[in-house]
Structure 1
Amino acid sequence: MHFLARLASRHPWAVLAVWVIAAALSLPLAARAPAALNADPAGGLSHSGANTVSGLLRERFGERDTNTAILVTRSLPPLTTPQGQKIYRAFVDGLETVAGVSRVVPATPGGPVPTQATDGVLALTVAQIPLQEGGTEALSRVRDYVRGVQSEALTIRVTGGQAIADDFTEFAETDTKRSEFTALPLIAGLLLLVFGALVATGLPLAVGVLSISVAMAALYGLTFLMPVSTFAQSVITMLGLGAGIDYALLMVNRFREELRHGTDPRAAAARTVMTAGRSVAFSGSTVGIAMAGLILPPVAFVRSIGIGGVLAVILTVLASLTALPALLALLGERVNSPRLLKVTWAQSGAASVAWTAFARRVTARPVLGVVLSTAFLLTLTVPALGLKTGYAGAWGLVPGVPSRDALGDVRELGAGGLLSQFEVILDLQGQRYTPADRNRFQGTVNELRALPGVKAVISPFLTPADLAAVGSGGLEALSVLTRRSFSADRKLLRLTVVPDDTLRAQDIAAFEARVRATLDASGYAYLLGGAPVGGEEFSRAIIGTLPGVIAVVFTGTFLLLMVAFRSLLIPLKSIVMNALTVGAAVGVVTLVVQGGFLAAPLGIPADVGVLDASLPVLLFAVMFGLSMDYEIFLLSRVQEEVLRGARNDEAVVLAVGHTARIITSAAVIMFIVFVAFMFGRVVATKSIGLGLAVAVALDATLVRLVLVPAFLKLAGKWNWWLPGWLDKRLPHIRLEH
């Protein structure tokens, strides 16, 4: 801290020059980052059954372009008329010329079960595009073509796995930008109330924008090394704006207090780093530990979010401890100009009379405060016990997004199962397929076909029922995904199980279990893949890492708090109370997103059914880390008062009186940032915003101003108990703000 304090106060121009250069170099790269992110649910798993099956289809079965774009057309006149057929045929002919489209399977009227609606208005067309590299670009060209040929006589909507994933990425990017633009004016207004001066108001915003820009540039660099989740962008924005503005608010407030004491501007900047800067560094460390917990799971997507979060925290803390005090040192008294408001909602070094009185009332009845607060938080946590996770697919987007809306038409045409196919590869154990195996294989196919919820099984033994189930031209359409049933060496057999409708995330596990049970009984060695299996494997991989992430975050936080506050009870209490906050917030998100309670007023579809598998891990890490900000603001002041000689009870009251305005101001800022993310079109992003907004509201009010003071009063001297042998071995850190 001494080095940073001297650097920022003695060489402010040099410090600012470095940050200006960094920002200038970062902006072009940061602008490219969103387009490089993606939302593929299984793309981050290095070893999975679904990816293994995809590899075998490419290498052993010659499948190259197994990705599909499903286009639903509405034609007036109907496709059953000559004029309708002419319009549709022209559309198909043009689609075949789009770069990246290797094959088009059109709707064909007159089959046993037409692939268009009975009135001939709706029709389904399948375009075959690359599976991995080039899939997004090919789909983009398909959509450009669709926009160019649509007319009053022919409207077209595009869906499919690639379309849904690309919409996730696109709308997550645009939602993040819109959230930033929505939140910044509101935050600026609040900061103006807090500081009353225009210059002071602009400084926290500058720190937040600066840290986000550099972090996004670093994230872009990360995309060259690993797949990076779309959610990483949202996390960087949330942490950069929320935590960055909070830290800057604390620093600017301390600097203004130093100036009021008559301190020279550069000395005041150095003193600000040595006091409030320590709290900022420590708070950032707790957030960093929580985000670093996301780097542990062996899932590239989750790791990318963790790395993005750590980058955002490091850069936010670094900007707060270097660029901000450098600006303060140069501004001096000008930080208070121009004075726009004479009466401000400002923090000051003096204790708030109202909050001090409130703290005395809470500590006068500590048992009541602890019991009622804990009971309320546990009640909110109850819905989380029924939490279900998975990849929501199109249902993870709000109505109005084309890929989601088109899914309704696909289901109306009876082709919803095209989006939920299970690929099965049977291994003949080195033996070539012979006529003697025919009956055994056909028996397995028949057993799969008889399973509940199965519409068709595409294999060498197609029946008239299978043809009818997939409709006229259906065999050709499905051959886009299953061009061959035998591997080139005739040692692998392949079949495709088509459900009777698109499977929702909560239904996939049961369907998969039935398929696996049948395959287990067949005696074949097999691999099971397909989009539903990939989504389930991704969900299980992430949820399976949650206990390890929690253990690492709890351990790291406990050790850090133990060193800072010279106590065993304080870190244990902090972990338990932060866990209560996280549990309550997750319970609220589960109740709204999964249960549909108040979903409509919040703009969340009532039919999502599950939470995205990434959310429990992501919400835990971000909530737990940010909750520690307020914990440290309060506890550092309690410790300071105790070290000055105050009794424990009085120290608690004084700490609440001095920090409540800081905590509430910071919480309102964070609340605005998180609520802004609820006005998007990606349900997962809306869920993150909802969960964090609830967590901040609970933590800054009920937990930090009622539950914690009441508990500290009950614990008394045990708050600061540490075995003597351990006290001698721990380094000494003193926090001030």
Structure 2
Amino acid sequence: MFERIAELAIRRSRLVLIVAVVAVALMGVLGAGAFGTLLGGGYDDPASGSSRAKEVLDKKFGGETNLVLLVRTPEGRVDAPAAEASGRALAADLKKERNLDNVISYWDTSSPDLLSEDGREAVVLAHVKGDGIERDENAKAVIDAYRGPYKDALTVRAGGAAAVTSEMGTQSAEDLLLAEAIAVPLTLVLLLLVFGSAVAALLPLAIGLIAIAGTFAELFVLGSVTDVSVFAVNLTTALGLGLGIDYALLMISRFREQLATGASVDDAVRRTVSTAGRTVAFSAATVAAALAALLVFPQYFLRSFGYAGIGVVVIAALSTLFVMPALFAVLGHRVNSGRMPWGNKPRPDGGRAPLWGRLAGTVMRRPALTALPVLAVLLLAASPLLGITFGTPDERVLPDSAESRQVSSVLREKFNGNDDAALRIVIDEPLGQAPLASYATELSSLQGVIRVETSGGAYTEGRSGTAGPAASHLGRPDAQQLSVVSSLAPKSAEAQSLVGTVRAVAPPAGTHPLVGGVDAELVDSKTSIGGQLPLAVALVAVTTFVLLFLFTGSVVQPLRALVLNMLSLGATLGVMTWIFQDGHLSSVLGFTAQPMEVSMTVLMFCIAFGLSMDYEVFVTSRIKELHDQGEDNRSAVTHGLGHTGRIVTAAACLLAVSFFAFGTAKLSFMQMFGLGSGLAILIDAVAVRGILVPAAMRLLGPAAWYAPPFLRRVHTRFGLSESAPAGTPERTTTDRELAKN
């Protein structure tokens, strides 16, 4: 297969490049529309009880409250004559908005729960109509129309889920622009330092841009037919730029190495595609397999990263395998043009890194002495995982200056219970007032519950109150809604425990209550992701094992890779827990400590695992190549790391830059994603590839290449293996080395 790709690039190089240019132009046109189809949110399981409760609320009650307008008077109280007149006018104007339902204000209800303790602030609750992009646009239009001074007597600020989602989308776009403004120039500088040649430095950027443009086009198509998260764009840019550079770096280094040996351009292309091209193909397959595990989760937030990640990997690999060889065939020795003052002439040994070779040699001589301290540090770094807790994104992921976050803080501090964070119980059957009252009475007696609001009145501490004007919207002939307002902090352990307690209360006979609200959504998200996580991990492990077996012909190498990758992943997640959950460095990075975002933690696991396998394939490919040519295990590892160490280091630094750039984000979970992914890459490239891999290979000895006879036959038939270089005889097989040892 790779020979045919090489011949196509050599004989039809200009045609390949013309087709690539046309394809990129078309992808660019399609990709430009991606942002108009992508959505916020997507953290909930559509089949969960909380999601089904939301559906009933939307269908029969005009939707749950997702917009909270906090109204404040500059002086005096909001129930003073002038402020009250303006407040009634505001409520009347909001009720005329065609994009809003269920507008409820303090001035309409006189409910003390919608009035702050000092009387200077009041609340207007509403539901923004629409789904996905339409809802986001409607929320933005309403917020922009009413935010700020109103009739010179009041000031209005927006909060609630709709406002939070709107601000997160805006902040995400700003974070993306800043990250790319940092990553692209810095990456170009690093490429110039690595290659010492302007032409060679620009080629990886071209592959990265193709990967990004192609994935944007894919997201546009998918976003037109299904729900896709806007945050997939962030992964597309970081991973597209990074992997495009990684793969191109490997190919360019091998091509220049072949030219330096005196090979013709055509032969250099053939050898590069058959060796580095094979490595890129297997590397892409392992990364895509890790990201494909995200597709098993029902939350479209996670599935979207799977769509984007697989698209980026496949497009980056295909453009590297087809476009890069065609560029080599056209450029030839001009790939070294534009040499920088510090640039050295490419050497036949590929720029073997003596430091990495010496390090590998030292580790191979004393594997336990060198590996044990590294293992101890990684396990120490992973120790915060023992206290990890999980949450879902809310206003706290925004910076302190975000208006929706400030509104949420005021609601918690100055109001008697947060109606916006109440549990919403819906009964999608006809229900009489007597059983409704009995059910509400029992709910109101639960610990932490301040009140239970129903169409028949409010209930507190097991006693009924009076039905207020605001209660009428909670009842329908064929359905009932109960609002359970508690004194518990939203998303706290106590609030999550209350969800289970409420669900355990015996419902009225013949009914099946559904419990919704932010705390119920968190409980359901954790349950949903936790239920699918074993399947996702199993898929990652099995597909990785199979691919690495096909790549190496050994059953030991995949197991060794899985164990070492889990060590580096544990260390990375432990450090992120120490920082973002425990709050260390919060003053430096400017975030609020909170439980680890469950979806982003799963995403970071899959991304980091896939990229770890990327470098696993880079290193193992050269070791196996030398081993197949007859070098013993120790020599193959030492020389293999000497050859690949510089490439892996450069690739890791370049890819880490793409992710670390998101450390400048204002959204805390994007900070965690960027810093965590970048850290995982560096830990893997330095600690794992530099020390733990040679130590493991030394301890395993010839058994590192073991496979049962029947699996060797499977590998012979189905595995991809590159032929020896021209003029190089096949020397010693694995079996001979095993027999010899």
* TM-score normalised according to structure 1 size: 0.90
1:68 aligns with 2:69: no
Give the drift of 1:87. Answer: 5.2
Query: CA deviation digits over 1:272-298, x for unaligned, max 9?
Result: 222211111111111011111222234
Give the drift of 1:640. Answer: 1.8
CA distance in 1, matches of 2:230, 2:30: 16
1:557 matched residue in structure 2: 544
1:240 aligns with 2:240: yes
Give 3-state SS (helix, strand or coil) of 1:452's partner: coil
**Aligned letter for 2:454?**
S
Give the drift of 1:236. Answer: 2.0
Give the drift of 1:96. Answer: 4.3
Report if aligned partners of 1:37, 1:223 keep a CA contact under 8 Å in 2: yes
Deviates more, 1:204-213 or 1:640-649: 640-649
2:449 matched residue in structure 1: 454
Give the drift of 1:94. Answer: 4.5
**Aligned letter for 2:105?**
P
CA distance in 2, matches of 1:72, 1:502: 19
Pairs within 5 Å for 1:523-562: 525-562=512-549
Give 3-state SS (helix, strand or coil) of 1:684's partner: helix
2:139 matched residue in structure 1: 139
Give the drift of 1:427. Answer: 6.7
Report if aligned partners of 1:445, 1:457 keep a CA contact under 8 Å in 2: yes
**Aligned letter for 1:246?**
D
Give the drift of 1:633. Answer: 1.6
Instruction: Decide whether aligned partners of structure 1 residues 637 and 551 sit closer, same or farther in structure 2, where only a CA change above 3 A counts.
Output: same
Instruction: Decide whether aligned partners of structure 1 residues 426 and 75 sit closer, same or farther in structure 2, where only a CA change above 3 A counts.
Output: closer
Give 3-state SS (helix, strand or coil) of 2:513's partner: strand
1:574 aligns with 2:561: yes
1:483 aligns with 2:494: no
Pairs within 5 Å for 1:79-158: 79=78, 81-85=80-84, 88=87, 91-102=90-101, 104-108=103-107, 111=110, 113=112, 115-117=114-116, 120-130=119-129, 132=131, 134-147=134-147, 154-158=154-158
CA distance in 2, matches of 1:389, 1:121: 36
Query: CA deviation digits over 1:629-679, x for unaligned, max 9?
Result: 211121112112222222211221111211111111111111111111121
Give 3-state SS (helix, strand or coil) of 2:630's partner: coil
Deviates more, 1:79-88 or 1:233-242: 79-88
1:444 matched residue in structure 2: 439
Give the drift of 1:174. Answer: 3.0
1:625 aligns with 2:625: no
CA distance in 1, matches of 2:271, 2:448: 69
Instruction: Decide whether aligned partners of structure 1 residues 411 and 285 sit closer, same or farther in structure 2, where only a CA change above 3 A counts.
Output: same
Query: CA deviation digits over 1:180-229, x for unaligned, max 9?
Result: 22111111111010011222111111111111111111112112332112
Say which structure, 1 or 2, has more relative contact order (CA 8 Å, 6+ apart): 1
CA distance in 2, matches of 1:188, 1:645: 39
Give the drift of 1:545. Answer: 1.1
Give the drift of 1:63. Answer: 1.9
1:29 matched residue in structure 2: 30
1:725 matched residue in structure 2: 710
CA distance in 2, matches of 1:531, 1:311: 32
2:694 matched residue in structure 1: 709
CA distance in 2, matches of 1:188, 1:712: 35
Pairs within 5 Å for 1:383-398: 383-398=384-399
**Aligned letter for 1:444?**
Y
Report if aligned partners of 2:57, 2:63 keep a CA contact under 8 Å in 1: no
1:599 pairs, out of 578, 586, 598, with 586
CA distance in 2, matches of 1:176, 1:555: 34
Report if aligned partners of 1:391, 1:536 keep a CA contact under 8 Å in 2: no
Give the drift of 1:260. Answer: 2.4
Give the drift of 1:330. Answer: 1.8
Unaligned 5+ runs, structure 1: none
**Aligned letter for 1:32?**
G
Report if aligned partners of 1:41, 1:391 keep a CA contact under 8 Å in 2: no
Give 3-state SS (helix, strand or coil) of 1:223's partner: helix
Give 3-state SS (helix, strand or coil) of 1:71's partner: strand
**Aligned letter for 1:105?**
I
* TM-score normalised according to structure 2 size: 0.90
**Aligned letter for 2:689?**
R
Instruction: Decide whether aligned partners of structure 1 residues 203 and 152 sit closer, same or farther in structure 2, where only a CA change above 3 A counts.
Output: farther
**Aligned letter for 1:351?**
R
2:380 matched residue in structure 1: 379
1:495 aligns with 2:482: yes
CA distance in 1, matches of 2:120, 2:485: 25
Query: CA deviation digits over 1:233-257, x for unaligned, max 9?
Result: 2222222111111111111122222
Give the drift of 1:33. Answer: 2.0
Report if aligned partners of 2:117, 2:415 keep a CA contact under 8 Å in 1: no
Pairs within 5 Å for 1:602-681: 602-606=589-593, 608=594, 610-681=595-666
Report if aligned partners of 2:655, 2:678 keep a CA contact under 8 Å in 1: yes
CA distance in 2, matches of 1:734, 1:509: 53
CA distance in 2, matches of 1:148, 1:75: 12
Give the drift of 1:735. Answer: 5.5
CA RMSD of aligned residues (A): 3.1
Query: CA deviation digits over 1:459-482, x for unaligned, max 9?
Result: 13424869x9999xx955x65xx7
Query: CA deviation digits over 1:5-59, x for unaligned, max 9?
Result: 122222222222222222222224323323432332455x342212322333444
